[in-house]
Amino acid sequence: MSRSLVTTLTLAYVRAALVVVLVLAVGLAVTEVIEFSQRARFTAPAAREEARTLLMSQLRAGRTLRESAQYTADHLKRPSFFLVVASGPQFTTVFEDRPKAGLRRALGNVLLTLIDAEGGVPRGEVVQGSVPGAVFAINVNAYRLVDEIAATYLGLLPFVLLALVIGYTFARAVAGRALRPVLGVTRALSDFAEGDFTPIRSSERTFDEVRALNAAYNAAAAQAQKMLDDREVAAENVRTFISDASHELKTPLTIIMGYIGAIAEGVVTNREDESRVLAKTLAECRHMRDTIGKLISLARLDREPVDAAPVDVVALTREAAETMKTLAPELHVQVPGGSPTLAFGNAAELREALICVIDNAVKYAPNSPIDVHVTKSGDIVVIEVADAGPGMGPQDREHAFERFRRGEANTEIEGSGLGLAIAKRAAERANGRIALSSELGRGTTVKFYLASVN
């Protein structure tokens, strides 16, 4: 059968309270036993003499031994003791002032054992005495002690019950208050399952454990919200990507189909026009090939896990520059000498990114000197590609790293608008960043900032 946590904690508090009550009850009984035993120890000799006196007076008055014993038991001024009287050669018990049987006698015998173990009443002649024709003995009246303890418990029982009721009510209130934040988290998790990632606020009076629980929930909610936002951004990027890619590929396909149709329909009749049409068709095919290749590169950078390692940036820059040297005779490379300059990243991805940036400089700043520098500042390695071309306006700078984004004044220049997007993604996968600065008429500078290994 299921139970609420509040009820479980409340019952646990009540059980703990019952254990405390039992311990106190046992302690109270032990205290009364000790006090009773000590009192009896000091009054035993006087009680023996009092019993002898009463017995002798009744025997002299002509009463029987049993009647005398009963009178003595009834009038003994020290009720902490009970009386036993025996007579005859075999000392047959004539009178015994204690219960014959039952729970009261059993409990009294247990207390007698405890009293004797504690030091009790002296034995032998101190508690024994004789009168003409009989002997008597007194012992601690543990049966009366049982009655006293029972009376004490009965007197305390209403207060104990009241205390348990108050304790139950208080424990339930405390448990409910302590678990209220947990119930709040439960409600928040239900909302979480329905897509509501509202964080939980912790008051200054919140317990540290509850504050930690709230913080864990808020962190999970924030992460879920971020993933949801990222997924939405990714979905929007995919929609934009498909739209832009279809547009970028549709245009050269339309041109190619038009040229081929013109040849097939006999519109192009002379050799010179045919060569010109074939050259333009080949150029559009190359443009499509480059666009598809860069789309594949971007898809790989977005999909594949990062495979990074220490890279010699100097050697990487020289290799990329040598690759582009035939297209840019004015390309100048300045790198530090001596030991390798290592940065963290993927060599192939960084090489492709650097070639994309240099290729942009070659396209958009023709016949302009292009300078490539590698510097190290503290824990950062900087690769800088600068040209002295026409530069970019504010609108183009703002959207320079977006996919399929091309300068408004350079639409006639062949390109896909994916080069800087590839460079940016490669830098990010190396835990670095890329920055662009440019002004109209003052050229463009692109910088890679990568984490140094040494």
Q: Taking 70 as the threshold, does the pLDDT of residue 423 lie above it?
A: yes
CA geometry: angle 322, 324, 330, nearest 5 deg: 95
Mean pLDDT of 164-188: 75
pLDDT of residue 230 exceeding 50, the answer is yes
Q: Bridge partners of 131?
A: 134
Mean pLDDT value across the chain: 76
DSSP characters over 397-442 = HHTTTSTT---TT-TTS---S-HHHHHHHHHHHTT-EEEEEE-TTS
The pLDDT of residue 349 is 85
Tokens of 48: 């023996």
Task: Map residue 378 onto helix, strand or coil.
Answer: coil
Find, among 244, 243, 188, the residue nearest to 213 by Cα. 188
Spatial contact of 357 and 419, defined as CB atoms under 8 Å apart = yes
Q: Is the dihedral of CA 60, 64, 68, 74 positive or negative?
A: negative
> Which three-class secondary structure state does DSSP give residue 29?
helix
Domains of the chain are 5-161 (3.30.450), 204-304 (1.10.287.130), 306-454 (3.30.565.10)
- Measured at the CA of 233, the angle between CA 352 and CA 221, to 5 degrees, comes to 120
The pLDDT of 308-322, averaged and rounded, is 86
With CA atoms as reference, report the closest residue to 344 among 427, 447, 446: 427
Long-range pairs, 146-150, Cβ under 8 A, ≥24: 146/104, 146/107, 146/108, 146/111, 147/104, 148/32, 148/36, 149/28, 149/29, 149/32
244-274 per-position pLDDT tens digit: 666 666 667 777 777 777 777 776 667 777 7
**Helix (H) / strand (E) containing 312:** strand 309-312
pLDDT band at 173 (very low <50, low <70, confident <90, very high): confident
More confident: 390 or 110:
390
Percent of the chain with pLDDT over 90: 2
Mean pLDDT of 294-319: 76
pLDDT band at 377 (very low <50, low <70, confident <90, very high): confident
7 vs 428, more confident: 428
The phi, psi pair for 337, rounded to 5°, reads -90, -175
Higher pLDDT, 341 or 204: 341
More confident residue, 438 or 235: 438
**412, pLDDT greater than 60:** no
- Of 416, 374, 367, 419, nearest in space to 390 by CA: 367
In angstroms, the CA 292 to CA 250 distance is 12
pLDDT digits (tens, 9 = 90+) for 4-51: 667 777 777 777 878 888 888 778 777 777 777 777 777 777 888 888
pLDDT of 1 > 50? The answer is no
Q: What pLDDT is attached to residue 447?
A: 92
Which pLDDT belongs to residue 126?
43
Torsion angles phi and psi, residue 382, rounded to 5: -115, 125
Most confident among 53-57, 75-79, 284-288 (mean pLDDT): 53-57
Task: Tell me which amino acid residue 71 is.
Answer: Y
Rounded CA separation 277/263 (Å)? 8
What residue type is 372 in one-letter code? V
Task: Enter the tokens of residue 275.
Answer: 């060569």
Give the pLDDT mean for 319-338. Answer: 76
- CA 187/CA 161 separation, integer angstroms: 37
What's the rounded Cα separation, in Å, for the pair 45 and 56?
17
For residue range 105-155, what is the model confidence (pLDDT) as tens digits? 677 667 666 666 554 454 443 467 778 878 887 777 777 777 777 777 787
Sequence-distant (≥ 6) Cβ neighbours of residue 429 within 8 angstroms: 301, 306, 308, 345, 346, 349
Q: For the chain, what is the radius of gyration of the CA atoms? A: 52
Q: 71 to each of 21, 47, 87, 196, how far by Cα in Å?
A: 42, 15, 17, 89
Predicted confidence (pLDDT) at residue 313 exceeds the cutoff of 50: yes
